[in-house]
Amino acid sequence: MVGKTILITGASSGLGAEMARQFAALGHDLALCARRTDRLEALRAEIAAAHPGRRVEVRALDVDDHDAVFEVFRAFRADLGGIDRVVVNAGISKGVRLGTGGFDVNRRTARTDFVGALAQTEAALEIFRDQRTGHLVMISSMAAMRGMPGSATTYAASKAGVAHLAEGVRADVHGSGIKVSVIYPGYIRSEMNERVKNAPFIVSTQKGVAAIVEAVEKERPRARVPAWPWVPVGFALRHLPLPLARRLMG
């Protein structure tokens, strides 16, 4: 297998950090960015110790700073001589039930999870169109399968927007050298949900990310991961009548 150069946002913890470890183990070089550079440096040292042949570049990035997204992506391309794959992963999961005074929280989630993803997508495609090749990977969520109630409403809507953004890009670049994958993770243990005690079917970070990495390596256009139980659950969420779907949503 020929190693690629992979840019991952939100790489300082959780799914992003574990993707970095697993992609490095597969022989890929990495461009890692996040707000917490101390964690990025620690991750770079960890990967260097485990895989001395891997190149790992790190930069600070807050995806809510849209100008910085373009600057960091361009700088990584200059540093590494090109970017083969961009994983749009950075995001947050805060939320408040709509109409209960939590607009500022919901606005922040929508801004980070959708507008931030839009900025990352624009910056990635700027590089890929110039190179005439590349693989865009958008990390959505099983919450995007259907509108979610309560505190998850804005998060789910933002992740649905990410998925539709990916589908639109795929239609736009069809027939070119640019590939697009959208990944719908189910409950995977990470820093974002470490306080959640009763998430159904939750799997470890390592196992969940292994399913993500497998789908990405195969360049699958879309994947619900891990496949069990999220492929059938996703089908049910899309097609069940609302009263039944709401029970499934919890």
∠ CA 62-63-64, nearest 5°, is 90
Q: Count the helices and strands in the chain (H runs, E runs).
A: 9, 7
Catalytic residues: 155
Angle of helix 14-25 relative to helix 205-217, nearest 10 degrees, comes to 60
Distance CA 169, CA 163 (A): 10
Of the candidates 47, 28, 35, the one whose C-alpha atom is nearest the C-alpha of residue 86 is: 28
Q: In what order do the strands lie in the sheet with 56-60?
A: 56-60, 29-34, 5-9, 85-88, 134-139, 178-185, 222-225
Residue 138's φ and ψ, nearest 5 degrees, are: -110, 125
**Angstrom distance (rounded) from CA 145 to CA 240:** 12
How is residue 44 annotated by DSSP?
A: H
